[in-house]
Structure 1
């Protein structure tokens, strides 16, 4: 059984503890029964189930509400511990409409959030381009004014939920200034003329991913989120919130790997004694438990800071994502080693975790990018002090 003692930490209110317990019980009943053989269908089914269970209502904030980042992190950690695709399905409902929750007009929020929060519509976040992954300011996709519309031209790639989403938050260059200051954010429904899915991308851990092409695709000016030229700030604000939740998902993967390892080393016999009796194995378990708890402290510090009024948690979120994703990779690698040949057998949980974790060290800011962010934040604090 996964360690639950962290729920007594002062980062949480009673409502958070109740939610974590309820979701854990729900996931045990609902997640394991979903067929994963068709990834697209599984994601649609998972989003619908999460909606019916009332969990996707936490993915966005209705008018007058604020996103509770501790809740988002607890949900992602719990779902990731049970099933990586369930975590992905929930996460994209939040990331895909994060800009609408934080910056959308009442009309925009009223149109889309009831659908995504209920699991009736799938959402996506379209930021990355073929030539600009971490370098968002190098985006070349354009949105040119034409009367009461904008005309979109360009490509987006590595878009999660690409090809199955009903609505995309998309970032394009409107040209108010060079670089990051010339980007704007838009709401783009699927199925528009000039909007085409040109490639579905396959990865080691199956997820719906695609390259999208926009050719003279017209959207009304009412699709603009915020003001022209605010797109970079909007994107970074959304990532500030959801980057901590990526760390929480990594924490969930690591926690499951530790649980699987404890089950293995206490039942596997070596020379007539449990594997756990070997001091080297005890050392591995100790390192894994340490990394899990240290990750949890960083994750929930960042989430707590945001929820209690911090304007930005760039440093805290970057630290949480960097440490939790990197250490989860190490924890899971140890779990595979402790399982021996079974650790690399297709269909085993630790083998699945080994594939699931790798992408988290890349998306929403690769590990080395987080190091740059942390270093710049440290320098800024030093010079400012």
Structure 2
């Protein structure tokens, strides 16, 4: 059983502790699921999470703020049990984050469906030539007689191919670079939106390369104002970046649990593997890195929940440290498992594949370092 003593930290209120305990029970009863058919598994997870009420924190009421501590606790708990369940939960929030934070009443009608698990959402930001540098976005949105006409491509889009609705960032040209982008709400059945390719990765998730060919959207599809797309995208990432660290923390806690079981049960040299001081040292390092990551994550979440408008520095620190530390913790858990550490069917082998992407998406580790450095130099 993973350490839960951190729930007594002053970052949390009683409602957070109750949420974590209740979700832990649900996870124990329902996870993990079969990942054989990834699309079906994700659809089933969204429906099950919605039916259980666990997707409610992924959106906020009009004029309200998202509870980032609840989002982080949810992702940490789900990731510890099933990485795909964490993915399904996270994308319901990230996918509709722009609508939750900036949407009109009509656009916000989608939130009732995504929170209930009745619609799947996606966030279409990355392009073949614009990954970490969003200012290089090439997809265009031009005003026409019927509203907006979008053309371009988006790639590595989570839930691509199974989403019912996307938030898409496109260039509307109010100014050069990042200041000339806008955000739009794009139902998946809109003519001209196609799946060009499905992308397979080492830890299976539904990803796709999307094409937009003369996609016509009404004026009401615009989220916020023209030219606010970069600000909207960064505001969404500012909230959800800390939660990526929380997912990594969940993976790391599971890896430590597996390592402790292995070390106390595996026989070596007439005793237990855990009797060796070097093994004890590795376990201690894993525990320290986990607690340090948790402190950074829940510091960032608490600061945001206390009303700070932007937490770019705190969120960058949390994501950078937690994902990098989790990679080290999981790698050591694999090492302590010996040959079984790289054997299919063992939890640590799955965790090893799951963790790697978290150091890339929603801002790669090097991007987080730039964010932190600029905050210091600014």
TM-score (ref. length: structure 1): 0.97
1:51-72 deviation line (CA, Å, top 9, x unaligned): 0110011111122432100000
Residue aligning to 2:3: 3
Output aligned runs, 1:193-342, within 5 Å: 193-342=191-340
Separation in 2, partners of 1:194, 1:66? 34
| 8 Å CA contact retained: 1:151, 1:217 | yes
1:133-177 deviation line (CA, Å, top 9, x unaligned): 001000010000002410000000000000000000000000000
1:238-282 deviation line (CA, Å, top 9, x unaligned): 000000000000000000000000011001110221110000000
Output aligned runs, 1:4-19, within 5 Å: 4-19=4-19
| SS of equivalent residue, structure 2 residue 213 | strand
Residue aligning to 2:60: 61
How far has the Cα of 1:74 moved from its partner?
0.2
Unaligned runs of 5+ in 2: none
What count of residue pairs does the alignment treat as equivalent?
378
Separation in 1, partners of 2:182, 2:64? 24
Task: Please tell me the root mean square deviation across aligned C-alpha atoms, in Å.
Answer: 0.6
Separation in 2, partners of 1:201, 1:21? 36
Unaligned runs of 5+ in 1: 381-385
Output aligned runs, 1:1-385, within 5 Å: 1-32=1-32, 34-109=33-108, 111-380=109-378
Runs of 4+ with >6 A deviation? none
How far has the Cα of 1:31 moved from its partner?
1.7
| SS of equivalent residue, structure 2 residue 96 | helix
| 8 Å CA contact retained: 1:62, 1:113 | no
| 8 Å CA contact retained: 2:183, 2:232 | yes
